[in-house]
Amino acid sequence: MSNIYSGTEENIQKAAAVIKRGGLVAFPTETVYGLGANVYNEAAVAAIFAAKERPRFDPLISHIAEVDFLPQYAAVDARAMELAKHFWPGPLTLVLNRIEENPCLDLACSGLRTLTVRMPAHPLALSLIKASGVPIVAPSANKYQSVSPTTAQHVADGLGDKVDMILDGGACQVGVESTIIDLTGRQVVLLRAGGTAKEDIEAFLGEKITVPETVPALPTAPGQMLRHYAPKNVLRINVTAPEPDEFYIGFGKYDGALNLSPTGDVKEAASRLFAYLRLADEKAIGGKIAVAPVPNVGLGLAINDRLNRASYHK
């Protein structure tokens, strides 16, 4: 029996009841599908780590439904509130200092004194959070380090009955995870490129964002592991001349069995990236996938971040 449910008001209320009693609900956001639980319920948060087979040192993102709730949940200053009011709801996650010593948050925050939080731009997600009455902590609803899900069926295929309910909100529009910025210091630091372009944040702030040159030994935010978002088959990137046994995903003028965007639109490419990696995994008879170059501007920065991590091997 399928655990996928349409996004009706009745099913949203059922899903909220699951969250309240400590269960897991997968739900759509504008970026990817999230695997959600009550952030204050340690057993439920532990169930997320278990279902995903995710190490507990990798922190999770909290999702809220109102910008005005942010000062109650995290330590904010004028800069943080201005960013939230401008970019939320939307694919921007803020790393902020915690304002409470609530030990229930320790697991979701991986023991850090900071937390990551955003307000998703999807009506189903917002309705679920409001009906649940608590922040919902939710990483991508897939096995750890595998390709992120952008449809309800992707979630069902990857996690099956480890999820109590999957709310179906259709395909995700953005298609890559949120951008994460650290606001705990004087300078704004980019921790993960994502669905909000770095250039747009810089234009709003009127300053450049710091981009770390090295990967941290332990993650301070999701998506910082060297290998992540990976298909089962070997992946080669920035390929203009694929080998005969490679399943080729094109971009722009470099055409292939699939093309992320024949017109060279990085937004269109981002929305298709994970779905096409999944299709390539199914169709790559030779066990090899190649992807054409994507310009490193706008959402291209997020696409290349995902492809670099997906293709990483020691």
Read off the CATH number of the domain in which 42 is found: 3.90.870.10
Number of domains in the chain: 2
Is residue 213 domain-resident? Answer: no
In sequence order, which residues have a C-beta less than 8 Å from that of residue 25 and are 6 or more positions away?
15, 18, 19, 35, 36, 37, 128, 163, 164, 165, 166, 167
Is residue 265 domain-resident? Answer: yes
241 and 194 assigned to the same domain: no
269 and 139 assigned to the same domain: no
Write the single-letter amino acid at 92.
Answer: L
Is residue 214 domain-resident? Answer: no
pLDDT at 100 over 80: no
240 and 293 assigned to the same domain: yes
Convert the pLDDT of each residue in 231-268 to its tens digit. Answer: 899 999 999 999 999 999 999 999 999 999 999 999 99
Q: Which band of pLDDT confidence, cut at 50, 70 and 90, is reported for residue 213?
A: confident
Is residue 226 domain-resident? Answer: no
- Residue range 60-77: average pLDDT? 97
Q: What does pTM read for this prediction?
A: 0.92
47 and 183 assigned to the same domain: yes
53 and 103 assigned to the same domain: yes
259 and 112 assigned to the same domain: no
Q: What is the pLDDT of residue 56?
A: 85
Q: What is the pLDDT of residue 218?
A: 62
pLDDT at 197 over 80: yes
249 and 129 assigned to the same domain: no
178 and 118 assigned to the same domain: yes
pLDDT at 85 over 70: yes
Give the span between the Cα atoms of 90 and 15, in whole angstroms.
Answer: 22
Write the single-letter amino acid at 290.
Answer: A
257 and 171 assigned to the same domain: no
Torsion sign, CA atoms 251, 256, 259, 264: positive
Q: What is the pLDDT of residue 126?
A: 98
171 and 271 assigned to the same domain: no
Is residue 77 domain-resident? Answer: yes
Residue 37: both structure tokens together: 């639980």
Q: Which domain holds residue 8?
A: 4-205
**Greatest alpha-carbon span in the chain:** 57
pLDDT at 224 over 70: no
59 and 144 assigned to the same domain: yes
92 and 198 assigned to the same domain: yes
Is residue 274 domain-resident? Answer: yes
pLDDT at 220 over 80: no
Answer whether 48's CB lies under 8 Å from 137's CB: yes
